[in-house]
Structure 1
Amino acid sequence: MATGSTPVTAEFGLRARLQGTVPTMSASMARTARLLLENPDLPISLSIFEFAERAGVSAPTVTRFCKFIGYSGYTGLRVGAAAELGRSVGEDSIVGEPGASAHPEMSDEDVLRTFLASHVQALRASADLVNLGDMRRVARMISDAPQVDVYGVGGSGTVAHSLVDRLYLVGVNARAWTDAHLGLMSGAILPEGAVAIGISSSGETSDTIEMLAEARASGAWTVAITSNPHTTIAEDVEVVIQTAPPNDYLDLGSLTSSHVQTFAADLLYLLASWNREEKKERNAAAAMNAISGRRLNSRSARPSPRAAEPSPPKS
């Protein structure tokens, strides 16, 4: 688990916290989580002892369970349950029913509504799980680092490249690695003060874990972006950035993984860019000037370099 990271303190996000951490819970905690997923209002009306009895566990287990999913204790869980319930009642018509599944027999309206709902729910859950204190801390480290390595494979690799492309434009010496051999070599020679970020929704992608571990062994300050803060990639890193788990909308859930990762990556970029405002403005102007002539409407408005050249004399 991350060392020195700030505990999650937001009231919202109870459902996302449960779904993201159930796979790594003990049997008794998983039983408690399932009870809470099926009856999210129970903590509002039950004492810790009554809730423990319903779950078939002890009161100390309930307390450990609360801390495992990011609350300070049962009181925090009750507040989170009340906040989640109050918001869901007001927004069900917008985001739809969690657990919905799209199918070919749906009307066009229902397909679009369910598809949109899956993405809205995933992004909202990620926002609930964000700890801006940790995000600002990571952004500051990125801004000051001599080099930033970002590791990821598959869809996470695409997000890694997107983050690096943005950071590069504000003057951050950032590189994305999706090949384990190249990433391991880069991690082994990172300079002092470097930052290494590993992106893995499952938290168990071996290539990404190994690249991040190599960077950590070289002295890099490490960050994990994952949907489960209790997985291998989150071990011994300085900060864990938790994203929404991908299984809230059944077959549509997996489609949202890259979106919630991009949400976290773009937020990191935004915060980091604020630390480099002068360079951001200068680089943005230079970059836009460099590509201004690459758009078709811009090209048609002025002659091409070839057209401006004088014709060679006829022989």
Structure 2
Amino acid sequence: MAKSAVNAADSEAVLIRIRAALPSLRPSERRIAQVFVDSPSEGATLSVAELADRCETSTTSVVRFYKRMGYSHYKDLLMDLTREAMRQEMTTSSLPPVSGDIGRNDSLDVIVAKVAINETLSISDTARSLDTEALGQAVTLITGSRRIDTFGMGAGSLVGLDLQQKLSRVGRTVINWSDPHSAWTAAATLDSSCVAIAISHSGRTGDTVDFLTVARESGAATIAITNFHTSPVASAADVVLTTSARESAFRSGALGSRIAQLMVVDCLFTAVAQASYDTSVEALRNTYRVVHDRSQGGAR
């Protein structure tokens, strides 16, 4: 895809596209990508030769990388990186000026700042890149279903539980499975009136991919929440909701996937509730009243 074919929205999302491409890049290209991801403002000042030298690779690898990202000319990539760096600075202007992963000698103030910046940008990037057409398709599937099953491993399980609790409050029948064997068994009993939702940052967690695969084979509609649109879990989904978290399999100290997934879940829940506005508002009032009244009764 040449630069002339990259529209304004794509240009603004240059770092989102680079991070999404990381798993599929060659080692030399991955090192190049990491320079831009770690510090877009600094990376935007490097010539082709300087970047190649820093990454211990050839200028040919740099050329191959920027063409793979959709640019005919290196200077166009640098211009988009400069704009993206300025946007990040504006987004985090109220936070202390820190960067990088958590370091061995970071103070608590620096740790708080780095986590805040990472999560702020994860939410901002996800909001910019979330496919609202896919979101609408997911809402349609959920509102038309008789049952919704969710599954994820680790943090994905917690995100699934959050979605279950939210949708249950507006009258949806939702089951969140925390054990893979139980999830697979349940997926095998689903049919065309059901929806299965899988949550996986990498999209490569075998148990989660298997859950969605079994659900699809059983006839259920399938939805994936993942950071990588070309991942195995995305391939098993009818609808893919993509996050843009600042975390990757290549930077174990990175943070942000869970907060980005929760942001997508909040958007999904809100849109589902809006689809049956009056009924949902009444259900939310009733559930709040029941909890409030019982809590007050217990206090007495």
Q: Report the TM-score, using the length of structure 2 for normalisation.
A: 0.77
Partner of 1:150: 150
C-alpha change, 1:284 and 1:41, in structure 2 (3 Å) is: closer
Bigger Rg, structure 1 or 2: 1
Partner of 2:284: 284
C-alpha change, 1:242 and 1:177, in structure 2 (3 Å) is: same
Cα RMSD for the two superposed structures: 3.8
Given the alignment of the two structures, is residue 65 of structure 1 paired with residue 69 of structure 2, yes or no?
A: yes
C-alpha change, 1:112 and 1:139, in structure 2 (3 Å) is: same
Q: How far, CA to CA, are the matches of 1:123 and 1:31 in structure 2?
A: 25
Partner of 1:125: 125
Q: 1:56 aligns with which of 44, 57, 60?
A: 60
Contact 1:101/1:250, CA 8 A, preserved across alignment: no
Q: How far, CA to CA, are the matches of 2:115 and 2:35 in structure 1?
A: 27
How many Å apart are 1:58 and its aligned residue?
9.1
Q: Which has the higher contact order (CA 8 A, sep 6+)?
A: 1
Q: How far, CA to CA, are the matches of 2:28 and 2:104 in structure 1?
A: 35
Q: How far, CA to CA, are the matches of 1:145 and 1:74 in structure 2?
A: 48
Q: How far, CA to CA, are the matches of 1:111 and 1:249 in structure 2?
A: 20
DSSP-derived class of the 1:192 partner: coil
How many Å apart are 1:202 and its aligned residue?
1.8
Partner of 1:273: 273
Q: How far, CA to CA, are the matches of 2:42 and 2:59 in structure 1?
A: 11
C-alpha change, 1:8 and 1:152, in structure 2 (3 Å) is: farther
How many Å apart are 1:300 and its aligned residue?
5.2
How many Å apart are 1:14 and its aligned residue?
2.8
Q: String of CA shifts for 1:132-158, please: whole Å, max 9, x gaps.
A: 222122112211122222111222111
Q: How many percent identity over aligned positions?
A: 22
Residue pairs, 1:75-154, within 5 angstroms:
80-91=80-91, 93-95=93-95, 96-103=97-104, 106=107, 108-154=108-154
Query: Which amino acid in the other structure matches residue 157 of structure 2?
Result: G
Query: Which amino acid in the other structure matches residue 144 of structure 2?
Result: D
Q: How far, CA to CA, are the matches of 2:133 and 2:76 in structure 1?
A: 19
Partner of 2:55: none
C-alpha change, 1:99 and 1:128, in structure 2 (3 Å) is: farther
Partner of 1:304: none
Query: Which amino acid in the other structure matches residue 150 of structure 1?
Result: T
Query: Which amino acid in the other structure matches residue 69 of structure 2?
Result: F
Contact 2:66/2:77, CA 8 A, preserved across alignment: no
C-alpha change, 1:97 and 1:200, in structure 2 (3 Å) is: same
Query: Which amino acid in the other structure matches residue 205 of structure 1?
Result: T
Contact 1:151/1:178, CA 8 A, preserved across alignment: yes
Query: Which amino acid in the other structure matches residue 56 of structure 1?
Result: T
Q: How far, CA to CA, are the matches of 2:251 and 2:62 in structure 1?
A: 32
DSSP-derived class of the 1:241 partner: strand
Q: How far, CA to CA, are the matches of 1:39 and 1:257 in structure 2?
A: 19
Q: String of CA shifts for 1:239-267, please: whole Å, max 9, x gaps.
A: 2222214259967524x332221111111
Partner of 1:180: 180
Query: Which amino acid in the other structure matches residue 60 of structure 2?
Result: G
Q: How far, CA to CA, are the matches of 2:62 and 2:291 in structure 1?
A: 64
Partner of 1:308: none
Query: Which amino acid in the other structure matches residue 247 of structure 2?
Result: P
Contact 2:224/2:239, CA 8 A, preserved across alignment: yes
Q: How far, CA to CA, are the matches of 1:156 and 1:135 in structure 2?
A: 19
DSSP-derived class of the 2:254 partner: helix
Q: How far, CA to CA, are the matches of 2:171 and 2:26 in structure 1?
A: 45
How many Å apart are 1:43 and its aligned residue?
11
How many Å apart are 1:35 and its aligned residue?
5.8
Any gaps of 5 or more consecutive residues in structure 2?
Answer: 1-6, 53-57
C-alpha change, 1:97 and 1:20, in structure 2 (3 Å) is: farther
Partner of 2:3: none
C-alpha change, 1:77 and 1:245, in structure 2 (3 Å) is: same
